[in-house]
């Protein structure tokens, strides 16, 4: 495995440099592969050793590199050591490399590959609370909520795979004036029957209608305010209507999230923190942090100089609390309930300032753990439309992805017979959405285009699924060879070596993604893997090869398939076995 070799090289280096292995490991990395090119397997960054004070930072770096390369002696594992530019290159004995890497993929497969690497030793594993999706009841579920859902799910999956305890939380927008409007207008525009049939859509329709009405009708506005006040006073009739709206929404969402392969441990929401928000105001007051403005609003000074040049409003002049006040209360409550070691919020970048203010206020209130709260911001998606128009509901996006994929599959000559084509189309369609979304830096905006994301060729989720299904079918057809012993010396062709070398990087790629919480490292790694697999299919046929060669090749494909499937699952993609 990658870690076996990394440790082996680190030990060798350690003896020469008189340093413990652990400090050398971070300077070692697997070399990214280029097709059709002989690569070393690992490289050591001499620049990094200088930066860390392991080598003197004065003097010519190239001379240092060459000296180190000659000092290090090759052996039966590390066959070749040479100086490159600013790096020392290491080449592992081919047979041993292949054997060690493919060994774990016997009969049972291996879903832990790469996850026990020593690279993760430095991670402070603990409890991570990830808050994501967080749509607003009766309002649109827009592309931003979809992004939050899949990004948050990825972060939670990744952390979980690396051994963290993960709490997945959905923080619903289930409080505020929209409930005043809904409550006041439901008797007029709503129907219990429609609410049961299609809750999300019906609540949204009613909300739009009441809003329109309220624009022209003063009485509707007054009624809405009145209803919201009843809610805030916890009057039972108002509360039970609100509760019904909320319950029915959560149920419906759970159903749609399931299609997406997403789940939550907790459905929290703004409504839960209404009372504590008042407490927060008290605490701010006692701590001398709450200032009253001329307009009668309550603010907290968040300017670096403390001169009120940047303030955050936490209290309206009519005594009601705001989004941020509830967020302060919610954060404190979560810390007390779940003892998280870190908390991650996933929303679009327009809320970056909101979260920075939130963390600052928490710190000012004497909560040092606010330093371990993190906002992961992402960019906007333009033009996510369905045949019927703008995206209003998550379900619309999923239906559209499924319908388009089903159509493409029916057009393709390679499509296999399958039991449930809808289900496959849905999974493949969703993976197309995810891969498109994860390919670049999360912070970037992008233009959405169904045709592009659903292409079967090129770097898409469809390509990942297709590669996986093709591997599965090859392995199915050669079931009896899977798990047989294999002879690594029969895998010395360039196309199998590049795959194995590429697999060497898997733990590093996960590590990178865990550091900056960006899925692009993993996505691009898997896409590259699929390209390498495609060449291997051409160059390393199983059918018609002598049995031992076929056995060895199946082992290679089984290893690639297992890593591909594992990586896809971390991204939140359910790999299909046939398509």
Residues known to be catalytic: 139, 142, 145
Taking the least distance from each CB to ligand ARG, the nearer of 31 and 200 is: 200
Cβ distance 4 to 25 under 8 Å?
A: no
Give the DSSP letter string of 491-517. --SHHHHHHHHHHTTHHHHHHHHHHH-
Q: How far is the CB of 215 from ligand ARG (least distance, A)?
A: 22
- Residues 427, 198: Cα–Cα separation, whole Å: 24
Could you tell me the maximum CA-CA distance found in the chain, to the nearest angstrom?
87
Q: How far is the CB of 346 from ligand ARG (least distance, A)?
A: 8
Taking the least distance from each CB to ligand ARG, the nearer of 173 and 379 is: 173
Taking the least distance from each CB to ligand ARG, the nearer of 220 and 376 is: 376
* 130 strand-pairing partners: 168, 344
- Residues 129, 344: Cα–Cα separation, whole Å: 6
Q: Which range binds ligand ARG by CB under 6 A, 79-87, 129-137, 152-160, 201-209?
A: 129-137
Give the DSSP letter string of 6-29. HHHHHHHHHHHHT--HHHHGGGEE
DSSP class of 349: G
Query: How many binding residues for ligand ARG (CB under 6 A)?
Result: 8
Helix ranges (DSSP H) in 176-314: 177-189, 192-197, 199-216, 218-232, 236-260, 274-286
Give the DSSP letter string of 33-100. P-TTS---SEEEEHHHHHHTTSS-SSS-HHHHHHHHHHHSPP-SSEEEEEE-SSEEEEEE-HHHHHHH
> Which of 29, 64, 128, 134 is the binder for ligand ARG (CB under 6 A)?
134
- Residues 225, 180: Cα–Cα separation, whole Å: 6
Task: For residue 309, give both structure tokens.
Answer: 């040049």
> Which of 105, 186, 345, 506 is the binder for ligand ARG (CB under 6 A)?
345
Q: How far is the CB of 160 from ligand ARG (least distance, A)?
A: 21
Taking the least distance from each CB to ligand ARG, the nearer of 29 and 347 is: 347
Task: For residue 350, give both structure tokens.
Answer: 């327009």
Cβ distance 77 to 93 under 8 Å?
A: yes
> Which of 105, 154, 164, 171 is the binder for ligand ARG (CB under 6 A)?
171
Q: How far is the CB of 131 from ligand ARG (least distance, A)?
A: 6
Q: How far is the CB of 56 from ligand ARG (least distance, A)?
A: 49
Taking the least distance from each CB to ligand ARG, the nearer of 21 and 327 is: 327
Residue written as token pair 């309220």:
214
Q: How far is the CB of 290 from ligand ARG (least distance, A)?
A: 21
Cβ distance 152 to 281 under 8 Å?
A: no
Q: How far is the CB of 134 from ligand ARG (least distance, A)?
A: 4
- Residues 414, 578: Cα–Cα separation, whole Å: 11
What residues between 449 and 478 interact with ligand ARG by CB under 6 A?
none
- Helices and strands: H and E segment counts in the chain: 22, 16
Task: For residue 53, give both structure tokens.
Answer: 């004070």
Q: How far is the CB of 248 from ligand ARG (least distance, A)?
A: 18
Taking the least distance from each CB to ligand ARG, the nearer of 325 and 347 is: 347
* 374 strand-pairing partners: 344
- Residues 495, 463: Cα–Cα separation, whole Å: 19
> Which of 21, 252, 301, 327 is the binder for ligand ARG (CB under 6 A)?
327
Taking the least distance from each CB to ligand ARG, the nearer of 293 and 353 is: 353
Q: Which range binds ligand ARG by CB under 6 A, 64-72, 110-118, 128-136, 508-516?
A: 128-136
Taking the least distance from each CB to ligand ARG, the nearer of 325 and 386 is: 325
Cβ distance 30 to 41 under 8 Å?
A: yes
Residue 141 binds ligand ARG, judged by CB under 6 A: no
Cβ distance 220 to 213 under 8 Å?
A: yes
Q: How far is the CB of 375 from ligand ARG (least distance, A)?
A: 9
Residue 136 binds ligand ARG, judged by CB under 6 A: yes
- Residues 6, 13: Cα–Cα separation, whole Å: 11
> Which of 149, 170, 347, 467 is the binder for ligand ARG (CB under 6 A)?
347
Taking the least distance from each CB to ligand ARG, the nearer of 14 and 377 is: 377
Taking the least distance from each CB to ligand ARG, the nearer of 43 and 276 is: 276
- Residues 566, 71: Cα–Cα separation, whole Å: 40
Task: For residue 348, give both structure tokens.
Answer: 């679009």
List phi, psi (to 5°) of 313.
Answer: -80, 125
Q: How far is the CB of 39 from ligand ARG (least distance, A)?
A: 44
> Which of 26, 86, 106, 173 is the binder for ligand ARG (CB under 6 A)?
173
Q: Which residues bind ligand ARG (CB under 6 A)?
A: 131, 134, 136, 171, 173, 327, 345, 347
């Amino acid at each position: 495995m990658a870690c076996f070799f990394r440790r082996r090289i680190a030990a060798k280096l350690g003896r020469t440099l008189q340093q413990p292995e652990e400090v050398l490991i971070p300077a070692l990395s697997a070399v990214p592969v280029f097709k059709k090119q002989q690569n070393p397997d690992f490289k050591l960054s001499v620049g990094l050793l200088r930066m860390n004070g392991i080598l003197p930072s004065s003097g010519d770096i190239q001379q240092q590199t060459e000296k180190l390369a000659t000092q290090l002696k090759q052996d039966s594992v590390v066959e070749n050591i040479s100086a490159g530019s600013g790096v020392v290159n290491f080449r592992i004995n081919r047979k041993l490399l292949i054997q060690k890497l493919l060994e774990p993929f016997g009969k049972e497969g291996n879903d832990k590959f790469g996850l026990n690497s020593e690279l993760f030793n430095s991670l402070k594993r603990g409890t991570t609370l990830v808050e994501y999706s967080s749509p607003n009841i009766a309002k649109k579920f827009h592309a931003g909520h979809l992004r939050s859902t899949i990004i948050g799910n990825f972060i939670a999956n990744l952390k979980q795979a690396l051994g963290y305890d993960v709490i997945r939380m959905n923080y619903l927008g289930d409080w505020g004036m929209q409930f005043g409007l809904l409550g006041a207008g439901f008797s007029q525009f709503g129907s219990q029957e429609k609410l049961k049939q299609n809750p999300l859509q019906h609540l949204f329709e009613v909300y739009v209608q009441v809003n329109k009405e309220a624009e022209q009708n003063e009485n509707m506005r007054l009624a809405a305010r009145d209803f919201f006040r009843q809610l805030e006073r916890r009057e039972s009739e108002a509360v039970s209507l609100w509760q019904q709206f909320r319950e029915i929404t959560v149920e419906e969402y759970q159903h749609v999230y399931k299609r997406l392969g997403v789940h939550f441990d907790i459905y929290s929401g703004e409504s839960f923190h209404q009372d504590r928000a008042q407490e927060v105001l008290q605490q701010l007051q006692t701590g001398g942090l709450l200032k009253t403005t001329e307009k009668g609003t309550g603010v907290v000074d968040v300017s670096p100089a403390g001169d009120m040049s940047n303030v955050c409003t936490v209290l309206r002049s009519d005594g009601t609390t705001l989004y941020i006040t509830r967020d302060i209360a919610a954060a404190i409550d979560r810390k007390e309930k779940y003892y998280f070691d870190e908390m991650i919020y996933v929303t679009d970048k327009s809320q970056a300032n909101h979260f920075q203010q939130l963390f600052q206020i928490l710190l000012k209130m004497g909560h040092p753990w606010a330093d371990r709260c993190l906002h992961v911001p992402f960019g906007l998606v333009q033009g996510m439309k369905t045949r019927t128009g703008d995206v209003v509901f998550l379900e619309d996006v999923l239906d559209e992805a499924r319908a388009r994929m089903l159509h493409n599959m029916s057009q393709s000559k390679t499509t296999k017979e399958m039991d449930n084509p809808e289900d496959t189309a849905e999974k493949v369609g969703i993976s197309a959405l995810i891969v498109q979304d994860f390919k670049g830096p999360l912070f970037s905006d992008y233009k959405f285009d169904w045709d592009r994301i659903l292409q079967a060729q090129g770097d898409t989720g469809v390509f990942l699924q297709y590669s996986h299904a093709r591997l599965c079918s090859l392995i199915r057809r050669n079931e009896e060879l899977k798990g047989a012993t294999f002879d690594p010396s029969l895998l010395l062709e360039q196309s199998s070596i590049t795959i194995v070398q590429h697999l060497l990087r898997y733990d590093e790629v996960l590590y990178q993604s865990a550091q900056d919480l960006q899925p692009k490292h993993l996505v691009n790694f898997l896409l590259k893997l699929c390209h390498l697999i495609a060449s291997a299919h051409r160059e390393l046929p199983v059918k018609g090869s002598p049995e031992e060669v076929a056995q060895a090749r199946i082992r290679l494909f089984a290893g690639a398939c297992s890593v591909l499937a594992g990586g896809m699952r971390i991204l939140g993609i359910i790999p299909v076995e046939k398509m």
